[in-house]
Structure 1
């Protein structure tokens, strides 16, 4: 089976977490990272500092103000993090000869297509399979939010572009989830592939965790045997709070309203547990896709509101110009009335002259025609 390449991107307000992971400066570096190989990582494009991110955010904010004539929203996105990964069939190929040239070309093509600036592109060679992380700006050079166009169709187009670029080394785009489901593949395999790969890559760590779990269970079982059986506490449920006189009884007194709220809370938790056990939980990938589409719809609605505000402003300007023209016409009418009242002959002569200019006589036309003698 030929190896496959896959690309994932998303929008975010702050990329500090992604930067820490990509630059290996975060305290939450994944446990599966081989720190003895971290020196093999390479920054292929841009630079990876927090100052670069902050500078990019300021520049994008200025472009947004220039384009919309308004300040950026507080929840506006400024970054598009992305990752280029490969299937396990391509592991040996990309580990032995990292396709840096193809990765650079792909990221540069995406940057040119959407007119967004590349912040950085880095190769990670300290995990089981070589892969790439990149960061793009969310706002193009004109001040438009390009990231909101990353809908389901656009994301599928990125996979196609990756397949074409990395096809030069024999890799293909990943198979679409709908096609995999149509040919009968189990749905869980289309969602939890990364978890399964982690289990394959780290069998020793999994065995160690299982061993620790067995030891903890043994200690719990031993403690349970030694611990005395708890004595049941009688419970008395009352309707009125003024009857909560615990000093007069050894029973635990509970108000009936509190008891009803407790029952509803327990029922709600049981329902959630049943949903999880029955497998009815929405997969994380589908949730992110729906959330991305919702974010895109919200961004489109925001742009529509901006356009509507601009149209309203233009309408107000037109109304103002119309009022000004009406005033000027009124002034001209008053001047004409005054001239007609005090100098009727002058006005009549002016009107007659204008009519002659508008409709010249045939004699005048003949006189103005040049003749060749």
Structure 2
């Protein structure tokens, strides 16, 4: 029998499952996003992911180990770093050999002077900061002056925050395009991110109109799928992460549950190809804000929607759940953490309780998708398709 006709790949952003062997190099010894969350809240109630083998990957408080209907394992990251960009690009076959530049002291003056000259305004900030904290600090000044807020983090990002009534979205996106043109070569950050917000008098809330402007790092499995005439649908920030390369269609989302809704919508209409979603709330709302209770609720909320996704699957669909890095909310810092990521797979004609083991690279996922659809794998990675292929009904 031929391979799966559709692959539904959902990235549970930042849901790592234990420190990698090189975690000490990143200051992340002891990081275990899902495991530490479960301990922090007492127990994690995720019966549907448990059925797919989550508890067999790593002991998690409250998550049983059997029975399992599907395949399970974990993946190590080979790329340098622990960012969204690194993780997602490695999934589709690109290993980033060198860390992307970061700016713990803020961006150099020559970059900021050129940026301000080209946008015609001064800026505020220019330092590493929490996205919510910098709005508390500089939001009112931004409202008074009209100057956009520029900030970064431990990741390779240039973030521009602006109130939607002070700097309209189109103008903010234009600023991001200018920054993307400037930030190349040695200053080639992984992403420029638009961070619009609303509110007044120190009470500000970021909106769902975020946009990411990513560097392109080469040809991927997504390009091969597109060239073969297959649909590649990006849901959430997927289209932005890959700069639209290899994406045939896509939609941004409001939050995790909207991401699930959009995934279900595309499952009704896409006949063949890859439906690729990122659910970012785990990371943005809870991981970076050191909120293990909120993170746990978000995981359990997604688990409660998983039966809808399974029910919407066709006989020849493959569901894959994974993550792109960790963001352990129980650790002292607010940054991403260098962790293994879980892989859970399910198909209605897949054998049960398949342990795919610990994969050497995230790129094994892209290689598996390539083999399933019979397209070349332009990058690294070893397919595990033969372990999880469809069985005769």
Same fold flag (TM > 0.5)? no
* Greater helix share, structure number: 1
Q: Which has the higher contact order (CA 8 A, sep 6+)?
A: 2
Q: TM-score, normalised by structure 2?
A: 0.22
**Structure (1/2) with the larger strand percentage:** 2
Work out which of the two has the higher radius of gyration on C-alpha atoms and give 1 or 2.
1
TM-score (norm 1): 0.23
